[in-house]
């Protein structure tokens, strides 16, 4: 037996334990975090002596590697989001008080890490690059390629993504107000329509309402869908453009649940008018039977409709209450008959059309009463192509700016002038 061996062996064991403890406490993972290197989680696991079932390896490294390997599925913006979020999540841990605390447990790391996810997601463009990616490309990639497991951590991650999306209302409204959506084919009379789907409540209801109002004010027509039974109906009404009429309820995410509602949405969007300001020009071509639906705020001095037709013929039907007026619901109409259209929509016409009773006591068409001075009232136009191709430029002006002898057809005044001329010719003929 070697003299003193037990003492030496004990000293070696103690030295190894001390060395291992020092390694766990002083391991520096910050360089890996700065580079967004997935090895950061191996380093983190070593530093805090976590097991394979703890957050660093069971979630952090696993999903970091999975995002990296499936990055080609994502758009360019989505790939940038992956890189930036990975770095953000790692640096959040490194910069926290937990990182330099020798008493930090792996459970504490897990709690802190998950709490940092929403901020890193949003700050690096989740609301735009992920949630609003073209044809939902990046969301589909996350669902189909990243979170393919159904373990505990995956369920936590999906729940966090859902809660993160609830913070995106203001950013979504900014996206809708920005180009190209803000100006998408408005000059052709194509309406801007947005559908908002939600299965919960927003984190900041007042911000959601303000964001929705900004979208409404910009002339974007919004339909809201509430999915499931955890929704806030008040928020859905505030999000939708005209309140309850544009709110849809769906019981779940199944195709059968969505089928009927999507058919309703299709019908509604096809009858949605383009919201325009007086003076905005529309230039487009309509095939036979097709139409453009337009909505204007009706000015108190009335407005003049001017349509320069280069090909074909049109009929313009107008209403002060029906969004898509036809022969039965129109308050007025004018046809081109081979000429341009120059037509004054007068305040008197609006008052007559919105009067509840005729002289004989019968009620007129089912229409909501409008203010008599026109303030706050709308006028809706349906422009229908009559020939195979109908090309035109439409504009509107405040007040009566029709020409003395309009070329849009025979008006009441024009008919009186023609009758007087005919009578004069008749009397001259008799006199002679």
Ordered per-residue pLDDT tens for the chain, 432 residues: 444 434 333 333 333 333 344 334 447 899 999 999 999 999 999 999 999 999 999 999 999 999 999 999 999 999 999 999 999 999 999 999 999 999 999 999 999 999 899 889 989 988 888 877 887 788 888 878 887 765 555 566 666 666 676 667 666 666 666 655 555 566 667 777 777 777 666 767 777 788 788 888 877 888 888 877 777 888 888 888 876 668 888 776 565 666 677 677 777 777 788 888 899 998 999 999 999 999 999 999 999 999 999 999 999 999 999 988 999 999 999 999 999 999 999 999 998 887 754 444 443 444 433 333 344 689 999 999 999 999 999 999 999 999 854 444 433 334 444 444 444 444 444 444
**pLDDT for the residue 369:** 39
Q: What is the CATH number of domain 170-270?
A: 3.40.50.410
Residue 146 contacts residue 62 (beta carbons within 8 Å): no
Residue 167 contacts residue 198 (beta carbons within 8 Å): no
Domain boundaries, the chain: 26-165, 170-270, 274-357+366-409
Q: Which tokens hold the place of 361?
A: 């006591």
Neighbours of 42 (CB within 10 A): 16
Fold classification of 274-357+366-409 (topology level) = Jelly Rolls (2.60.120)
Q: Helix (H, G, I), strand (E, B), or coil: what is residue 146?
A: helix
Q: Helix (H, G, I), strand (E, B), or coil: what is residue 359?
A: coil
Rounded CA-CA distance 241/230 in Å is 22
Q: How many angstroms from the chain centroid is the CA of residue 197?
A: 10
- Whole-prediction pTM value? 0.49
- 379-427 residue pLDDT tens: 999 999 999 999 999 999 999 999 854 444 433 334 444 444 444 444 4
Q: What's the maximum distance between 2 C-alpha atoms anywhere in the chain? A: 156
Distances (CA, A) of 73 to 69, 140, 142: 9, 9, 9
DSSP per residue, 245-301: GGEEEES-SSHHHHHHHHHHHHHHHHTPPEEE-TT--EEEEEETT-EEEEEEEPPTT
> What integer best gives the mean pLDDT of the chain?
77
């Amino acid at each position: 037996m070697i003299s003193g061996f037990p003492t030496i062996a004990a000293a070696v064991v103690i030295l190894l334990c001390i060395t291992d403890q020092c390694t766990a406490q002083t391991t520096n993972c910050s360089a890996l975090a700065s580079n967004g290197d997935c090895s950061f989680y191996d380093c983190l696991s070593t530093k805090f002596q976590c097991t394979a079932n703890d957050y660093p390896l069971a979630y952090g490294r696993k999903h970091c590697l999975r995002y990296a390997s499936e990055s080609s599925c994502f758009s360019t913006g989505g790939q940038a989001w992956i890189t930036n979020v990975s770095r953000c999540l790692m640096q959040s841990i490194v910069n926290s008080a937990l990182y330099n605390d020798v008493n930090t447990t792996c459970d504490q790391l897990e709690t802190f890490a998950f709490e940092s996810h929403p901020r890193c997601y949003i700050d690096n463009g989740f609301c735009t690059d992920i949630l609003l990616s073209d044809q939902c490309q990046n969301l589909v990639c996350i669902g189909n390629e990243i979170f393919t497991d159904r373990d505990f951590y995956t369920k936590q991650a999906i729940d966090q993504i859902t809660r993160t999306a609830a913070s995106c209302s203001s950013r979504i409204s900014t996206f809708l107000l920005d180009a190209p959506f803000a100006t998408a084919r408005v000059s052709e009379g194509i309406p801007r329509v947005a559908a908002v789907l939600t299965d919960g409540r927003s984190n900041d209801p007042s911000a959601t309402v303000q964001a929705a109002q900004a979208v409404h004010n910009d002339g974007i027509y919004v339909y809201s869908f509430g999915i499931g039974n955890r929704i806030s109906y008040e928020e859905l009404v505030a999000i939708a453009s005209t309140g309850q009429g544009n709110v849809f309820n769906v019981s779940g995410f199944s195709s059968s649940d969505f089928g009927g509602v999507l058919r309703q949405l299709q019908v509604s969007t096809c009858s949605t008018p383009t919201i325009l300001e007086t003076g905005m020009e529309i230039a487009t071509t309509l095939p036979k039977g097709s139409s453009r639906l337009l909505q204007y705020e009706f000015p108190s001095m009335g407005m003049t409709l001017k349509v320069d037709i280069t090909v074909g013929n049109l009929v313009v039907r107008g209403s002060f209450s029906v969004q898509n007026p036809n022969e039965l619901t129109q308050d007025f109409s004018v046809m081109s008959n081979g000429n341009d259209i120059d037509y004054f929509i007068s305040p008197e016409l609006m008052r007559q059309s919105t009067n509840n009773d005729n002289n004989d006591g019968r009620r007129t068409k089912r229409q909501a009463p409008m203010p008599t001075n026109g303030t706050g009232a709308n006028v809706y136009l349906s422009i229908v192509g009559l020939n195979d191709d109908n090309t035109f430029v439409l504009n509107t002006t405040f007040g009566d700016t029709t020409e003395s002898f309009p070329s849009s057809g025979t008006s009441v005044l024009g008919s009186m002038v023609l009758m007087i001329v005919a009578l004069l010719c008749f009397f001259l003929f008799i006199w002679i």
